[in-house]
Amino acid sequence: MQESKANVDELIALIIQGVDEVKGHNINLLDLREIENTVCDYFIVCNGTSNTHVNAIVGSIQKTVSKAIQDKPWHVEGEDNAEWVLMDYVNVVVHVFQKQVREFYDIEGLWGDAKFTTIESSVNN
């Protein structure tokens, strides 16, 4: 089942809104559609300041998306230690890191061929 472009755009906007509402840091959108053999169309990458903040970001994303479009992640991984939480919305995968873990794994560097967009948020100003 292929989601329409409008649905994916709305999902991305809601995820970013959820991150921004709890002051998630350094939000990047990676468009993977022109890269062969990817598991999804988009990554959204952001970070929090602690495991509590990471879990707050994850909770805010789930609440925002669920309330607006009654969608929930197909799978969520990493909530136990909250250093790197992966939220799989099928076409959009969200990575919520603690800063030092994000720097270590360098997802953006690994996917350097992706179209890269930095999202302005209330924290970045």
Domains of the chain: residue spans and CATH: 5-112 (3.30.460.10)
Half-sphere exposure (CA, 13 Å, Cβ side) for 33?
Answer: 7
Over its length of 125 residues, how does the chain's per-residue pLDDT go in tens digits? 445 676 999 999 999 999 999 999 999 999 999 999 998 999 999 999 999 999 999 999 999 999 999 999 999 999 999 999 999 999 999 999 999 999 999 999 999 999 999 998 776 54
CB 31 within 8 A of CB 117: yes
* Triad 41, 36, 90: Cα angle to 5°: 25
Half-sphere exposure (CA, 13 Å, Cβ side) for 86?
Answer: 11
Single-letter code of the amino acid located at 89:
Y
Evaluate if pTM is beyond 0.85. Answer: yes
Q: What six digits make up the tokens of 100?
A: 């030092």
